[in-house]
Amino acid sequence: MVPNPDNDKRDDLLQKSDMNNQKFEKYYRRQLEMDDNEWRTLLDTCRESLPSTFRICGSREYVCLQSGNSCFRFMTSFLRTASVLTSVVEKTYIPQLTGVVFEDQPIPPPLALPW
């Protein structure tokens, strides 16, 4: 764990990894025929941060295998929950995640992906 720069009592902050793995480099260096420039480019690309994503899905069509309206009640509840979660993300988290800068790089806020 690293000290929390915001002093907001979080204890889940992790130290940034150096992203070096000698076994990985040794293995792939032998497997891939690359010159030194290509190899450095590959390693730099592998070390880039990946975006975090999650999915709230409540608008698809579902096939109900049960008879009666218990499946209807479940799907109504599920779609309502998906709608509430989407609203919370849009109204609470996206504003909090707008304008974030990490290691001197602006981080774009989450966005809804079109279908």
Domain residue ranges of the chain, discontinuous segments joined by + = 70-100
Rounded Cα distance, 28 and 7, in Å: 41
The answer to whether 56 and 82 are in contact (CB under 8 A) is: yes
Is the model more confident about 106 or about 82?
106
Structure confidence by residue, pLDDT tens digits, 29-75: 999 989 999 999 999 998 887 776 666 665 554 445 444 555 666 66
Please state, rounded to an integer, the average pLDDT across all residues of the chain.
75
pLDDT at position 28, please?
Answer: 93
C-alpha gyration radius of the chain: 22
Residue 82 DSSP one-character state = H
Q: By percentage, how much of the chain surpasses pLDDT 70?
A: 60
Highest mean pLDDT range out of 13-22, 73-82, 103-112? 103-112
Which of the four pLDDT bands, split at 50, 70 and 90, describes residue 87? confident
Provide the Cα torsion 97, 98, 102, 107; round to 10°. Answer: 110
Beta bridge partners of 91: none
pLDDT score at 109: 85
Distance set, CA 114 to CA 55, 56, 66, 111 (Å): 12, 12, 31, 9
Amino acid at 30: R
